[in-house]
Amino acid sequence: MRPTARHSVRIAVLSPLILLAGAVFISTATAQNSDLQQNVTEIKQSMAKNKQALAQYVWNETVTISLNGEQKKQEHSQVRLGPDLNPQKTSLDSPDQAAAPSGGRLKQRVVAKKKEEYKDYADQMKALAQQYVPPDKDLLQQAYAKGNITLGSAAGNPNELQLIIRNYLKPQDSMTLVFDKTQKALLQVKIASYMNDPKDAMNLTVTFERLPDGTNHVSTLAIDGVSKKMNIAIQNSNYQHV
């Protein structure tokens, strides 16, 4: 058989195989994309439902701030969601009656300035955490539309899935959602982000629990300000229906 004839035969044989492989790839990609959209939709619906349910509750929040592993401050508040579904907090602590710092005036000014700096930084950490928790449905949809969400499964548990989201709120940040497909509820959120400078890393770990009526809520939230070695631990408890 002449070379041209053999070449034509190879093309005739391979072309259907290439078309079949392409069709299988497109079909698989389409199915995966459909599954991802369905999972994103379920998570968005679950979060919206739980936020409405939490508006019927009041609970206690304990915030513990530590620096270099040493506890510096603890705050207690009562929390409920307002008409706009944003948290409204009422302090349960008595007015601060801390003793004045010892030493001369210069030392007192230095200590007071340092305390103010760390207080401001802690407030900024908490404010940034609130932009991630709970995840925002519109930002989730934007991430999906941009192709910034990948779907995975939790090792050892077929009822759990993971959504790994890149560039969710800031460039190069990441957020991993662990979702229970059976209960239709978030189990955990892990976030790697940063303050104003990408070198000023901030990591968050959030765990969720269910109330007796099935309402899902943030149980604990740990915020680590890596560069300043500051940790903020938030615990929610004593949920009461109102």
Percentage helix, strand, coil, to 5, in the chain? 35, 35, 25
Task: Note whether 205 and 100 are within 8 A (CB).
Answer: no
Distance (Å, whole) CA 29 – CA 220: 37
Confirm or reject CATH 2.50.20 for domain 45-241, answering yes or no.
Answer: yes
Residues 166, 143: Cα–Cα separation, whole Å: 8
Any idea where the domains of the chain sit in the sequence? 45-241
| Token digits of residue 174 | 């990441």
Q: Are 229 and 170 in contact (CB under 8 A)?
A: no
Per-residue DSSP letters for 14-30? HHHHHHHHHHHHHHHHH
Residue 27 has pLDDT above 50, yes or no: no
Q: Is 54 exposed, middle or buried (0-12, 13-18, 19+ CB in 10 A)?
A: buried
Residue identified by tokens 């995966």 is 32
Report whether pLDDT(11) > 50: yes
Residue 146 is predicted with a pLDDT of: 95
What pTM did the predictor assign? 0.79
Better pLDDT: 14 or 57 = 57
Angstrom distance (rounded) from CA 235 to CA 74 = 11
Q: Quick one: pLDDT band at residue 26, thresholds 50, 70, 90? A: very low
User: Average pLDDT, stretch 34-47?
Assistant: 89
